[in-house]
Amino acid sequence: MISFPVKKDDITIVLCGAAGQGVQTVEQLLTHLFKQTGYNLFSTKEYMSRVRGGSNSTELRVSSHKVQAYLDTIDLLFPLSREALDHVRRRISPGTIIIGEKEKLAPGGDDIPGIVDIPLSGLSQKIGGAIYSNIIIVGVIAALFNIDRKAIEEYLRDRFGKKGEQVVAKNIEAVDAGYEFGDGLTSSGTVSIELTRDAGVEDDIIINGGEAVGLGAIAGGCNFMSSYPMTPSTPVLTFLAQHSKEFGIIVEQAEDEIAAINMTLGAWYAGARGLVTTSGGGFALMAEGLSLAGIIESPMVIHLAQRPGPATGLPTRTEQGDLEFALYAGHGEFPRVLFAPGTLEDAFHLTRKAFAVADKYQVPVFVLTDQYFIDSYYNIPQLDISDGKIDRHIVETDTGYKRYAFSDSGISPRGIPGLGKGLVVVDSDEHDEEGHITENHDMRIRMMDKRLKKLDAVVNEAVPPELIGKKDASTVVICWGSTFPIVREAVERLSRNDMAVLYFKQVYPLHPGTGSFFKHARKRVIVENNATSQFGRLLKLHADIDITTRILKYDGLPFSVEELEKRLLEVI
Amino acid sequence: METNIFDSGVRDMAWCPGCGNFGIRNAIMKALTELGIEPRNLVMVSGIGQAAKMPHYLRCNTFNGLHGRALPPATGIKASNPGLTVIAESGDGDMYGEGGNHFMSTIRRNPDITNIVHDNMVYGLTKGQASPTSPRGFVTPVQVNGVILEPFNPLAVAVALDASFVARAFSGDMDKTVDILKKAITHKGYALVDILHPCVSFNKINTFAWFREHTYYLDDSHDFHDRNAAFTRATEKGRLPLGILYENPDKPTFEESLAVYQDSASPIIKRELNMEKLSELIDSKQ
Task: Read off the pLDDT of residues A556-572 as tens digits, 9 standing for 90 and up.
Answer: 999 999 999 999 999 98
Interface test with B, best of A28, A31, A225, A262 (most B CBs within 10 A): A262
3-state SS assignment for residue A154? helix
Sign of the dihedral defined by the CA atoms of residues B142, B145, B150, B151, in that order: positive
Distance (Å, rounded) from C-alpha A528 to C-alpha A531? Answer: 8
Q: Residues of chain B with pLDDT > 90: what percent?
A: 95
Q: Which residues of chain B have pLDDT under 70?
A: 1-3
- Residues of A with Cβ-Cβ distance to B263 under 8 angstroms: 245
The arithmetic mean of pLDDT across residues A107-134, rounded, is 86
Distance (Å, rounded) from C-alpha A539 to C-alpha A508? Answer: 10
**pLDDT tens readout for residues B112-143:** 999 999 999 999 889 999 999 999 999 999 99
CA distance A151 to chain B (A): 14
Distance (Å, rounded) from C-alpha B264 to C-alpha A171? Answer: 40
Q: What is the pTM of this model?
A: 0.97
pLDDT band at A25 (very low <50, low <70, confident <90, very high): confident
Q: Within 10 Å of residue A76's Cβ, how many Cβ atoms?
A: 24
Interface test with A, best of B59, B69, B253, B284 (most A CBs within 10 A): B69
**pLDDT score, position A103:** 87
Q: Within 10 Å of residue B154's Cβ, how many Cβ atoms?
A: 24
**pLDDT score, position A1:** 46
CB A315, CB A44: distance < 8 Å:
no
CB contact under 8 Å between A417 and B84, yes or no, is: yes
The pLDDT mean for chain A works out to 95
CA distance A276 to chain B (A): 13
ipTM associated with this complex: 0.97
**pLDDT score, position B1:** 46
**pLDDT score, position A389:** 86
**pLDDT tens readout for residues A258-314:** 999 999 999 999 999 999 999 999 999 999 999 999 999 999 999 999 999 999 999
Ramachandran assignment for A9, one of left (phi > 0), alpha (psi -120 to 50 degrees), beta (any other): alpha
3-state SS assignment for residue A539? helix
Concatenated DSSP letters of A426-459: EESS-B-TTS-B---HHHHHHHHHHHHHHHHHHH
Nearest to A385 among B41, B48, B275 (CB): B275
- Residues of B with Cβ-Cβ distance to A203 under 8 angstroms: 286
CB contact under 8 Å between B80 and A249, yes or no, is: no
**pLDDT score, position A111:** 66
